[in-house]
Amino acid sequence: MYSTPTHSNGYQHQPGERRPGPGMSHRERGKRGARGRSKSRDSRDSHDGGGLRVSDQKTHQEQWPPCTDFDMAYFNSYAHVGIHEEMIKDRVRTETYRQAIMQHQSSIAGKVVVDVGCGTGILSIFCAQAGAKRVYAVDASEIALQANEVVKANNLSDTVIVLHGRVEDVIIDEEVDVIISEWMGYMLLYESMLGSVIVARDRWLRPGGLILPSHATLYMAPVTHLERYSESIDFWRNVYGIDMSAMLPLAKQCAFEEPCVETIVGENILTWPHVVKHIDCYAVTIGELESVSTRYNFKSMMRAPLHGFAFWFDVEFNGSVISPINSHAPSPLTETHPVDGSQRKKRSNPNEALVLSTAPEDPPTHWQQTLIYFYDPIEVEQDQLIEGSVTLSQSKENARFMNIRLEYASGGRSFVKESVMR
């Protein structure tokens, strides 16, 4: 997903409203409760074939976290068309998802699908085109209104049911066979949207069901980036012949205090990447994502100034897991995946699964890479050790923000940098 945080949620049960039952139509199985909607919208929603649905009650209120003001702001940001335009125009992202859907068509055709955070509904429509029997397109943002119109315009209202609300709140009265979601934020975990996928999995996914993407891996590596440092910092040393070096402390703070989302290339990377976190979407828990820590140990491949660390991720679209109960046990394929804390020189077998990568050496995506720059570079020699640790934790202020604590040491010098991705 795009990573500019903002929703309007908090729907309440309508007293006396009819609950879905086993004899109801497929469209009545999924609902998203009311919150004082206008008459014009109510009349449109009640239209046969293509009405947007709202939840009839809050469920699992004791189990799932409540919708906060920060969640509202996060969801509201996704009502802006520009965010969806940027994501859809990212051909690497969109084409990989479409290819994954077609690659798993045998698991989708005739089956029930949930699209978590459906946005404009494009992935839901891809699933319908792949032959899905029914697709629940869930989004808590007002973009769900447009998604519903898109579905109707493509004559898919009998297949795609748009549910306006949080995954934690919507009602789907049947097990689903497939969960699809484009949940990844910058640095993979920013925005904490994976938690909604986990909720959907635990609420609805049948044993042996399919999750797309199935696995994700976050990487980090030390970088050198002379051009970036020169543009942002060295520029102030001589400005039209004027010594403005007094600006340097402020320039460094403004340029590098927070993580930077930008594109680098393979030549900026000083070593093989380190695996910060590998995620099996069939097994990961919400608590596991609250704080992620790893220790790293790099050996520089060249002599160069070390300007900071880059983070990127890839996701894989593996097949379903067969398990006797809906316990979402780890996939047997996990053994071929990178282990947290390991270094990965290349994918063990690129043909095992379709991969969407945001690595510097791969085609660029809207996620780019996330850079944590030092205020002052460190000169490193070839084969010099760079070691330390990094901790990524959900902000207590807003779980969709990410606190980053980076400890690093090289050449007998130790440093700590703390920042917040907000």
CA 300 centroid distance within chain: 30
Cβ atoms 319, 104 nearer than 8 A: yes
Determine how many CB atoms are found less than 10 A away from the CB of residue 88.
Answer: 14
Q: What angle, 0 to 180 degrees and rounded to 10, lies between the N-to-C axes of helices 91-103 and 81-89? A: 70
Please tell me which residue in 62, 142, 191, 361 is annotated as part of the active site: 191
CA distance 123 to 102: 11
Q: Tell me which residue has tokens 């071929």.
A: 336
The encoded tokens of residue 327 equal 């316990």
CA distance 290 to 375: 28
Judge whether 191 counts as a catalytic residue.
yes
Q: Tell me which residue has tokens 């943002």.
A: 141
CA distance 406 to 262: 19
Q: What share of the chain is helix, strand, coil (3-state, %, to 5)?
A: 25, 30, 45
The total number of residues written for the chain in this structure: 422
Of 120, 194, 141, 162, residue with least CA distance to 7: 141
Please tell me which residue in 142, 174, 175, 182 is annotated as part of the active site: 182
Query: Annotated catalytic sites, by residue?
Result: 182, 191
